[in-house]
């Protein structure tokens, strides 16, 4: 879950419409990372090959964790 960073510009005494509320703060949240920098998709496994064996899982863990 991403955290948001905002700077409150002014406060108001009463509740108002959303358009007015948007003018009361400035959103300083950094933009999300580019699509390719996110978690890569899982490795391809041919259909019907089933779950990886314990040996295959250990090999994959070694490759992905360095």
**pTM for this structure?**
0.43
Q: Return the H-helix or E-strand segment holding 26.
A: strand 25-27
Structure tokens at 49: 């090959």
- Residue 28's contacts (CB-CB under 8 Å, 6 or more residues apart) are 5, 6, 7
Q: Which two tokens stand for residue 56?
A: 């295959």
Give the HSE-up count for residue 9: Cα atoms under 13 Å, Cβ half-sphere.
Answer: 9
Average per-residue pLDDT for the chain:
85
* Residue 66 confidence class, pLDDT cut points 50, 70, 90: low
Name the residue with higher pLDDT: 53 or 34: 53
Q: What is the pLDDT of residue 26?
A: 94
pLDDT exceeds cutoff 70 at 17: yes
State the alpha helices, DSSP H only, in the chain: 18-22, 54-65
């Amino acid at each position: 879950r991403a955290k948001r960073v905002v700077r409150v510009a002014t406060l108001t005494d009463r509740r108002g419409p959303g358009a007015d509320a948007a003018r009361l703060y400035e959103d300083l949240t950094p933009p999300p990372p580019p699509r390719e920098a996110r978690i890569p998709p899982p490795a391809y496994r041919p259909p019907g090959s089933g779950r990886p064996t314990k040996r295959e899982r250990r090999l994959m863990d070694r490759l992905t964790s360095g």
